[in-house]
Chains A and B, each alone.
Chain A
Amino acid sequence: MRTSVSLTLLIGLCCPLHLCAAPPTSPARMATIPIQGRALQLIDQSLADLEAAFASDPQAPSVQRLRDETARNLGLLRQRVLAIPGLPAPALESFASGKPAAAPAPLPESVRAVGELNPVWELDRQTRGERWLFNLQLTPEDAKTVQAVLKIQAQVFGEITQPSARVFIQEKDAQIQRLAAQWKTFYESVTLQEYPWESTANGWLDVKRPITDIPTRQVKLFHPVSGVVAFQGRQSSSGSPITGAEVLGLQWYDPGAGYKPTWGLGVLVTLKAEGERSSGLGLIASYRDFKFGYRQSRRLDGQKVDQAIISINLARYFDFTPSRALKQAVDKLQASKGN
């Protein structure tokens, strides 16, 4: 009884040239498939059957191209199976003969095949009543060569190219699933948390970015900001509330942590506060949902005032003196947000 030799063969066995020409990836990441030792015998038998059918086919002239194309594809497939770099000779002999090797030879974990092959080895019905294979119409269907080709197609497709294709497509499918999951997270954690004008502006900036390259930074635009004054000049502030907008800023996100915001930096414009002559201008930085910034404005007497701004959630971590005023301001802002 013939023992089939199982070895792993790179999915490139039946891949078109442009894929095989791709730079090699690390072996651990390569798609590998098991292939039965019967493969070479099946190919050789198929070639012999094809020649026999064609030699005795009275309709030979009309199926010449079909025979040529099929033989070419089988030849390419055979070369690939034989041209497995790194495959130890005893294993190759055993593989080619179908007989078990004297001693089990170590097989490479993955191997790279060469050549090119028609990627879809199957019937192709592009219009009603017509069947095609290799870009050739299968007429007349009762020709011996056509029947031989159909049998070869079913066997080779079923035993060699189809399992290879399945492994390859499964890996591609897994990539698509990952990409979709990442976009879902990004869309829910970033896009839907932005104001529509921001997400649209960001989309506009990224209009030529490949869909596989999910952004990790976003532009902030007229993004409302509220906070309290933590320090004013050299003194702790009375905690007066500040409202304004981050007119232009950049926000980075961590793709490894569900696209949570990390660092951000932006230009801050705030409304005129009580006792001030002008609206304030400054910078605001953020880490996660904490914000801290610098703001400068003019008091009614014309004197410039430098202020340190912090967001409400950050203010809770500070113990200012006098802290009561700040606490009251924070409570007031939180109460108004709650309403």
Chain B
Amino acid sequence: MNTETTVVFLHGMGKHDATFHEAAWAFLQEKHQSLSGQPLAATAIPFVYDDIFESLRQTGSLADLQPFIYDAGVLGVLQDLQASDLFLYTHVLDVLIWRFHTQARARVITQLAAALSPLLVDLTEGPDRQLVVIAHSLGTAVATDVIHLLAEQGVTDYKKLPALHMLANVAKVLERPERPAYNSPPEPSLCRPWTREPADKGALQRYHSYRNELDPIPLVDAFRPPWSGRWFQSTTFKAWGAGVQPHDILTYIKAPEVYMPLLWSITLDEATYTPEREQQEMALGAAPNPATVARQAVLRDLAQHYADKPGFQDFLKLIQSMTGQKLW
């Protein structure tokens, strides 16, 4: 079947422009070519929302935000952060704006929902249409809210989003009390697999969540939903990252445990992307990597320290540690 696929990328923390996905997309194209001998017939669309955060940053110092943060634990961390020079790092600010600035968050959610919605309309043109969303880091929390809005408004009532791939999933640690990622009450996000019951409003056909065990970021309050394994796949792997740190989108994309199911959902090529082939790729990918021993030790310590810490303040502390030790 000739499948016409659109792949949407959502970026993570920090500054990004419309080229942020290019390295990851080039890798996927190259990998598909070498595995199947065919060019990857799909269109990649980057969704950028950093410009909205940037416009807010320019209105004044975000230190002004501090009096209105209503979580005592987070406030304590911010006071520590402000004492250091690290407070204004965009990574921290992005997370703070996303978590605490309701209007900026609403603007990001609605803008991306308006960009994703026409692609869901296109799916009704035929069964050969595919749509795959790949979100990384902060983008996973953003994707959760965007897809929830679309489902809540009924856009996914008839055509579910075929596949969502969450790399370094932080949807749980960045959830807000009024909209949990999967726990209840209140009603959790509709960004979850559809139960296949007619009235169920779950927005997704398949939900893939990936966690690099050497990346401390998704370890804090890790994403562990009580969903059936059939339509939810949670994958863990270990990769130090060649030339980039373990949290980087490229570290994720270049892991066979990620690119094999990802390319399968883009191409639906069941002959190439078999579980057996994935095992072969994993055996090939076990070569040593260039990350320094010292850096590995620091990351291991962080991962050990922050694993399964329960809260948002721990998440901020971890980002502070990583920026402080130049691990980005």
Contact = CB atoms under 8 A, between A and B. Distances in A.
Contacts of A16: 157, 198-199
Interface in A25-65: none
Interface string A127-149: 11100101100000000000000
A211 B118 CA distance: 19
Contacts of A324: none
A177 B231 contact: no
Contact of B155 (A161, A172, A196, A208): A172
Interface stretch (A118-126, A240-248, A262-270): A118-126
A173 B120 contact: yes
B114 A180 contact: yes
A202 interface: yes
A75 to B, nearest CB: 14
Contacts of B121: 166, 169-170, 173
B206 to A, nearest CB: 5
A179 B127 contact: no
A254 B125 CA distance: 39
A122 B155 CA distance: 17
B65 interface: yes
Contacts of A173: 117-118, 120-121, 155
Looking at chain B, what size class is its interface with the partner chain? 35 or more
Q: Which of B110, B261, B274 has the most CB of A within 10 A?
A: B110
A170 B123 CA distance: 11
A129 B160 contact: no
A191 B21 CA distance: 30
Contacts of A157: 127
A208 B106 CA distance: 12
A162 B158 CA distance: 9
Contacts of A170: 121
B258 interface: no
Contact of B124 (A19, A129, A162): A162
A168 B157 contact: yes
A190 B199 CA distance: 39
Contact of A128 (B118, B159, B261): B261
A128 B274 contact: yes
Interface stretch (A95-103, A104-112, A181-189, A306-314): A181-189
Interface in A290-311: none
Given A187-B104, A204-B102, A14 B158 contact: yes
Contact of A187 (B70, B103, B268): B103
- Which DSSP category, helix, strand, loop or mixed, fits chain A's interface? helix
Contacts of A187: 52, 103-104, 106-107
A321 interface: no
Interface in A196-236: 196-197, 199-204, 206-209, 211-212, 214
A271 interface: no
Interface in B57-100: 59-62, 64-65, 67-68, 70, 100
A120 B59 contact: no
Interface residues of A, number: 65
Nearest to A210: B152
B62 A211 contact: no
A119 B205 CA distance: 12
Contacts of B103: 186-187, 190-191, 199, 202-203, 206
B199 A17 contact: yes
B198 A116 contact: yes
A89 to B, nearest CB: 30
Contact of A211 (B64, B109, B126, B199): B109
Nearest to A15: B157
Contacts of A14: 158
Given A127-B230, A200-B64, A203-B102, A180 B154 contact: no
B26 interface: no
B198 A203 contact: no
A201 B64 CA distance: 10
Given A120-B159, A196-B60, A203-B103, A17 B205 contact: no
Nearest to B206: A126
B101 interface: yes
A14 B159 CA distance: 12
6 contacts: A166-B124, A176-B155, A179-B110, A183-B107, A199-B104, A211-B110
Given A204-B68, A211-B110, 5 more contacts: A169-B120, A179-B113, A179-B114, A180-B110, A197-B64
